[in-house]
Structure 1
Amino acid sequence: MARAGLSREAVTALALRVVDDGGPQGFADLTLAKVAAAAGVATPSLYKHVGSLADLRRSVAVVAVDDLTRAAAAATIGRSGPDALSALAHAIRGFAREHPGRYAATQVSPDLGAQADDPLSLAGAESVAVVAAVLRGFGLPEASTVDAIRAVRSAVHGFVSLELLGGFGMPDDVDHSFEVLVGLLVVGIADLARPATS
């Protein structure tokens, strides 16, 4: 019998705690057994509230994406152009450093063919909308928006992932390198927005 008061929301909250406690590998190492132990119940008791580990991971991902979106939106509101892009990049990096397990969860993609009201799809769309709003400040043509979003996400995610996993072993200042990356992104996005000359 499930512990009194246990619900899908409560199970997700416990899973988030397990993810947070696990550091950068917290999301990858998430198991139903760990969540059940945190809940003080047997693992089969969780199936009353979540369908599977994959189902629980998606619930964790929805919360994580919402958290990251709020952080990005708060950092970029009232800013535009290079200032907004810099604030966005720093907000993503700051979130990843503070919540590495949750950051890993933000990389879960919605299932192909998911319903329009799928929570993870909706959360992901809101997150992308924040990035798109930042990039609109550069006057990007509509046809280049998706490319720019992918470039920014890939660059910042690559840097952050390497940093979290200890991939920068040289003694040079990592913060300075991140500023160089942000500067390159600003120049690149501005160039993408520049009208082509014949």
Structure 2
Amino acid sequence: MARAGLTTERLTQAGAELADDVGFDQVTPSALARRFDVKVASLYSHLKNSQDLKTRIALFALEELADRGAADLAGRAGKDALAAFANVYRDYAREHPGRYAAAQMKLTPEAAAASAGGRHSQMTRAILRGYDLTEPDQTHAVRMLGSVFHGYVSLEAQGGFSHSSPDSQESWERILDAMDALLRNWPTP
């Protein structure tokens, strides 16, 4: 019988917290069981396996990130929306490095379809409507923004900008200015 109080939701939340503490790659059912002072076998009435745990954490992180993005984008347009959305990703990665890593996990097609990933795409496309981009340029711009946001956040998290001037915040602001200028002057083929 499972220990009282253990639920799939509680285990997912604890797994997300564990990911922030030790890194997403280090999250295992064994490590999670130690957090609850239970045997690993007691988790399997709530989780299928290690992959199920990691997928649940990834879905949790994507949902949490989408909720933050939606809240911060409300009522914004243009560069203000672009900066707010970019800062959601950067701030989330700083506050929750393990969850941010989980949000980058490759999901099965079924899990991806059920995830908040579609909300992320919709929010990005909503920002781009303020720049009057149509297809296929909108898709190109979605990919560019994702690459810039995730690339910068990942390099910064690994200390890539900590040993030189100017400060990475200044670079971040300049990059957002440049992205805004590029989107306003999107090249035509």
Counterpart in the other structure of 1:177? 171
After superposition, where does 1:35-50 map in structure 2 within 5 Å? 35-50=32-47
Deviation track 1:27-52 (CA, whole Å, cap 9, x = no partner) reads 12111111010111111221111111
Structure 2 residue identity aligned to 1:145? Q
Counterpart in the other structure of 1:84? 81
- Do 1:2 and 1:41's aligned partners in 2 also have CA atoms closer than 8 Å? no
Structure 1 residue identity aligned to 2:46? H
Counterpart in the other structure of 2:141? 148
1:100 paired to 2:97: yes
- Do 1:66 and 1:127's aligned partners in 2 also have CA atoms closer than 8 Å? no
In the alignment, the residues of structure 1 paired with residue 14 and residue 134 of structure 2 have an alpha-carbon distance, to the nearest angstrom, of 44
Counterpart in the other structure of 2:17? 17
Counterpart in the other structure of 2:7? 7
- Do 2:72 and 2:84's aligned partners in 1 also have CA atoms closer than 8 Å? yes
SS in 2 for 1:141: coil
Which ranges of structure 2 fall in alignment gaps of 5 or more residues?
A: none
SS in 2 for 1:142: coil
Q: Alignment partner for residue 135 of structure 1, among 125, 128, 140?
A: 128
- Do 1:61 and 1:105's aligned partners in 2 also have CA atoms closer than 8 Å? yes
Deviation track 1:133-185 (CA, whole Å, cap 9, x = no partner) reads 11111110122121111100110111111111111121321100101111121
Which ranges of structure 1 fall in alignment gaps of 5 or more residues?
A: none
CA RMSD in angstroms, aligned pairs only: 1.7
Bigger CA drift: 164-173 or 143-152?
164-173
- Do 2:20 and 2:97's aligned partners in 1 also have CA atoms closer than 8 Å? yes
| Superposition TM-score, scaled by structure 2 size | 0.92
Q: CA deviation at 1:119?
A: 6.6
Counterpart in the other structure of 1:187? 181
| Superposition TM-score, scaled by structure 1 size | 0.88
Structure 1 residue identity aligned to 2:51? A
Structure 2 residue identity aligned to 1:13? Q
Deviation track 1:49-93 (CA, whole Å, cap 9, x = no partner) reads 111111111111111111111111111111111221111111211
Structure 2 residue identity aligned to 1:183? D
In the alignment, the residues of structure 2 paired with residue 38 and residue 17 of structure 1 have an alpha-carbon distance, to the nearest angstrom, of 10
Structure 2 residue identity aligned to 1:34? A
Counterpart in the other structure of 2:108? 111
Give the direction of change, closer, same or farther, for the CA distance of 1:17–1:122 in structure 2 (3 Å limit).
closer
